[in-house]
Each structure stands twice: as C-alpha cells, then as structure tokens.
Structure 1
C-alpha cells in the first residue's frame, strides 16, 4: 500500500492506497509548524485503529500547496516509513500533461493533480471545480492539457470576511436555506440567502461564461467537501468526485512506477 498526502491550506489529507483504491483516509488541520514526530504519533494511532500496520506502507507520494509544510512531511516519510517520498510534479512524478498557461510553475499541485484525474476518469473538455479554502475552476481540454481557470474566495473565507467586517452580523452555519425564497425576512435568513444562493449564482454564472469561451461540449466535475451541499440546488455539475485529488496522486504513483 502507498500513503498519499494532500497538503492544502486548510487541511492535510492522508489516504492509504491499495492498487489505486482508497482504503482509508484521514485529515488534520494544516499547520506548517507541525513536526514529523507529531504527524507520526497521530497517524500511527489512526492506522492502528483501522487495523493497518505502518510497515505495510510501501511508498509515499505528497502534493502540497503549502511550501513550509513539505519539509516535515518529507521527514515523516523518511524517518517513520523509510522511504524517499515522491513529490507531485517533480522527478519521476512529473505531471505528464501540458500546463498551457503563461506561468506553469505557479500552478498549484492540487489543481494539476485534479486535471490528471479528471481527464483519466471523464475525458473530453472539462471544467473542474474544487471547493476548498479557495474555490478554483480549472479547464482541461480533450487532450488533457491544463488551459487555465479561475480562483475565487472559498465560501468559508467569504463568510469569515463578512462576519469579521460587520460587527452586528452573527456567525452562521453554511447550509442550504430552509426556504427557496431569496427575500429574507430576518438577518440570519438574509445571510443564508446571500452566502448560499449567492455562491450558487457565482458558480452557475462563471461556468456559463467558461462554456461559451471554450465553445465545445464540456463536462463539469466538482470535488471538495462542499460540492454535495450545492448539488441539491443546481444542475450545473455533471459529476461529483469527492476524492479527485487523491485519485490523481494514485495515478501519478502508478505512472511513476510503470516507467521503472
């Protein structure tokens, strides 16, 4: 089995892969100061709870958009699993796809990995929407090349900014409003409408504009924890792939070892 690690701005996801299948997954809040030893204690306990032995791990692959977290994750792999980890986008784990943008070196590892997995799973022209700290919209063409996209504030960031800047507004849960009405009768309902339906309007509007610009049939694939929250009230998604980034890391791992 392999250990895949996806270090995002909010959470680090660890997943056990067995022949490309996800056998277990865990997440921990991202903290660039967290040491390899701290990761090891936490992860060893979770492996044991799931009935796995640390010695069953035969390799490690890491994707990160948090550069300061990489060193400790590499140390975790070397010290506690006795493997030099593969780093997504480097060496044997190079992308293997064209990054057809003006600054390819600035493309986030998670976005490139999502394109790899999206193209392998769905083919054709794609719009990949990842609901994370930021909400990203990525375009992949029918050859699997990354063509660019959009970075928008994540819904949690939007809510945090609203509550922080407006002293009298309460913190609310991110959920679908109880009513389909978009005219709120009190402060909390108005906030729910603005956050939830406003976000759906943004998604639908941006996707519509992107489809016009692409000019060919396009599938829209969503990933990230909040994708299912929006699915119930929009038809914009053709598919939801909750583990798209981990699936992409599994594909990168397989590709790197097929060439050996």
Structure 2
C-alpha cells in the first residue's frame, strides 16, 4: 500500500504530536504514535479498511485461525464481535487518551487514523497512529494560538465535539462493516458506545488517575446520544470500577469459554 505524501512528511513537533509523545510510553499493551513508520508493515489507514471491507474479512479469517488454535473451533459471531470491538477501540482509545491527558480532541476522520495488526498469532490491534496535526482545545491551552488549533468555550463543548467526531467515524464503520457480518445495527452501535466509554475509562487508568477517567466517561456520555445506545455504564462494585457492556464479543459461544464479567448477559 502506498502512503500519501502528506502522511510521509508529517513532523512530530506540533502540539498534538507532542501530546501523543507524552502518553505514548504509558501503555504497555498498545503502541501509540504520531505518523506512520517508514516501513508500514501491518499498518492500515482506517479509511483503507472502510473503503475495502474485504480487509475486514481477511482480518476475521486470521482471527478464526487463532480461535481454532485456542478453543478448537471458531465462530462467525466471535470473529465479527472481536474485530468490531478492536476496530472501534482505535478511535475511542486515542480520543480518550488525548482528552484525558491534554484536554485536546484530534481529528478522528478515517483518513487521519491508522492502526497496526499484531504480527503474532493473535491478530489484535497492537498500535494506533494519528496522522493529522489539527486539534481542538480549551481557552487556557498553551498552544491555543497554533495554526492547527481550534479553541472551544469549555470542557462541555470539547466533550461534545469529541462525541460528534467519534460518532461520524463510527457511522462510517457501521456502514462498511454491517454488510459483511450477521450483526444487527443496534449491536454495532452498542459496540461503538462501549469503545467510547471504555476508552475514556482506560485512559484514566493508563495515566494513573482512574477516577478522573471515569469522570471523563460520564462527561462524554452523560446520557444516551443517538445513535449510541446508552449513557456511560461505569459503576463502582466491590471496591473497584467496572462497567456493563452494551455489546457482546460472543466469546461465550466458543467451546469451554465463559461469558465475560462485563457481558450484558451476566453483568451485575
């Protein structure tokens, strides 16, 4: 795949790139970076995936092979559920990290986000990349006068524009992915809700301030916003934060597997 020239020549010295650098070392599970490496390897632009849904089918095929190794068999519902959650976590996770750590909202357009699929046996998302300098911020942001910045009035306005941008990306995903899987649109939008709620929560946990991550989730999802399926479902149970998932990954259909603790089928 060919990297567009404007992606190849990005400089990691803009305010949003510096925000990415500050949080990049916080997570041991997923690489977070600004721009793509010279050797793309298994990196995909989100726009490429949405424009060619067969890439989702290839991704699910690789996942099916891993599930067979792990559980003895695969399931169309499970591969659809895993990939659904992994993909939506790209935009939800990055948005949550920058909102929590810098009160900045990046571009969430599919052409401005990329992700890397792990090259080990389990083909999960192992890296997320932001490709655009543009961002929104608060009036007291030290980079508010930067040409790439757009200042909004307050935190509520910043949360609203993040939500709007995220929903636009999720809508493009639902349109591209729905014809390739046997999942209803409500399930797809439930997964989109989960990814935004979880992204804010995990950003707080990653940065060492879980309670603020929970508060961020409540700010981003204070109530149900169509076409999302619920407000934040974060709750404090037995001395720890958890949440009730709106969607299902369908792990429970695999031989010997149990439902997740946060599954809507079993969650307290």
User: Structure 1-normalised TM-score?
Assistant: 0.31
Higher relative contact order (CA 8 A, sep 6+): 2
Structure with greater strand share of residues = 1
